[in-house]
Amino acid sequence: MTRATRQLKLGAFLMPTGHHVSAWRHPDVPANAGLDFTHYKRLAQIAEAAKFDALFIADSVAAATGDIASRMARSDHFEPLTLLSALSAVTEHIGLIATATTSYNEPYHVARKFASLDHLSGGRAGWNLVTSDAAAEAANFGRDEHIGHAERYSRAREFHQVVTGLWDSWEDDAFIRDKAAGQYYDPARLHVLNHSGEHFKVKGPLNVARSPQGQPVIVQAGSSETGRELAAQTAQVVFTAQTSLIKAQEFYADLKGRLEKFGRCADSLKIMPGVFVVVGKTQAEAWKKYEAFQDLVDPEVGVALLGRMLGNFDLSGYPLDGPLPELPLTDSGQQSRQKLLTDLAGLENLSLAQLGRRIAGGRGHYSLIGTPTQIADELQNWFENGAADGFNVLVPHLPGGLEDFAQQVVPQLQKRGLFRTEYEGRTLRENLGLARPPNRFS
């Protein structure tokens, strides 16, 4: 088959034991994976051998605690930037995307850390810019309650402005390091930010030279109205949860349609919906694998996960066999995810326990359970029909689920000319087909 001019992009979304809430209980999964570097090294090398564009590590700056949390593998895991810095030394091509919240960080810290990761990796860093949606994080940073939705996004927009400004502190050739002349850098190529805004006052400059990519790739996952506007203005990659082709097409068209007013072209933003994938040699085998995880779901754990994803609601007082109660619009969580899950409960007429079980694997993301051919067919359908530029791949368990996708689905995509057989470049931007941004000051 002739090689397609447009090829899809793939991210490997790595939770320590896998995306299924009960994965840690499965006999094929190392329960201590969250703090096992050897485990992550293996995952990175599996994904890189399959030519994935990037690894993606989510984050929270609070530990899950309590009786129900004690039955979930979510309380201990590496800090993402530290982990990806270590993985940069055992990989060569794959992108390294980490989450860092704008709600409980300072712009200078974030700018410095991601610029450092970009240098360490030779230009493979990506920042998943999020506003925290876990209410428990507030108490770790001197607050009695979580920052409201509107303020979180106002802060995030200015946070992005400061970070990207700091990344341009130095022009690409500022550090001349001329020993004979005794000149380490050219002062004319240094630019002091002197930012003063509603949320931040930051002088600069950054004490890290401009990075190999110019700026690390910026990723976002907000799908609310405010989140879409922020993504259209600032992101190069968007991760999103969409439950059907039609909804994915609507989101894709809407977000791409917002780019022009910010002076951007459609190709400057890659939209990569999450897809939860279970692979089997036959469809029956795939469903058998999936049900093995579903059988391990503690109903109370499923409902606790549901409450967290709906926007930090405690659902423990409601009957498990009753319907999802009417809830106010979350101000502390993800409003787009709340709507998605509420719509899903109504569409499928699910009880609270059933809805918790339903999202135990994909957490509201589109789910594909089948053969490599069936899965590749559906990914191709979304990719070729205006729903996606690629996919953020979620698997139920690690490392087995990632191996299944890498060894069985990726070859199907490659045979169809939809996915690379070799990396196009050295940097994450080059492999994603994104331009290197010029320094705003030069």
- For residue 53 the two structure tokens come to 């564009």
Residue 347 burial (CB < 10 Å; 0-12/13-18/19+)? exposed
pLDDT the model gives residue 1: 34
Q: Please list the ranges in the chain whose pLDDT falls under 50.
A: 1-4
From the number of C-beta atoms within 10 Å of its C-beta (0-12, 13-18, 19+), residue 272 rates as: buried
pLDDT for res 37: 98
User: What CA–CA distances, in Å, run from 191 to 116, 171, 181, 187, 204?
Assistant: 19, 8, 22, 9, 8
- Write the DSSP symbol of residue 130: E
pLDDT digits (tens, 9 = 90+) for 190-242: 999 999 999 999 999 999 999 999 999 999 987 889 889 999 999 999 999 99
Quickly tell me which residue has 């110019």 as its tokens: 214
Query: Measuring CA to CA, which residue among 159, 136, 138 is closest to residue 147?
Result: 138
Domains observed in the chain = 9-139+214-277+364-432 (3.20.20.30), 298-359 (no CATH)
Evaluate if pTM is beyond 0.85.
yes
Q: What angle is formed at CA 381 by the lines to CA 261 and CA 388, rounded to 5 degrees?
A: 25
Q: What are phi and psi of 388, to 5 degrees?
A: -165, 150
Question: What is the distance between the alpha carbons of residues 60 and 74, in angstroms, rounded to a whole number?
Answer: 10
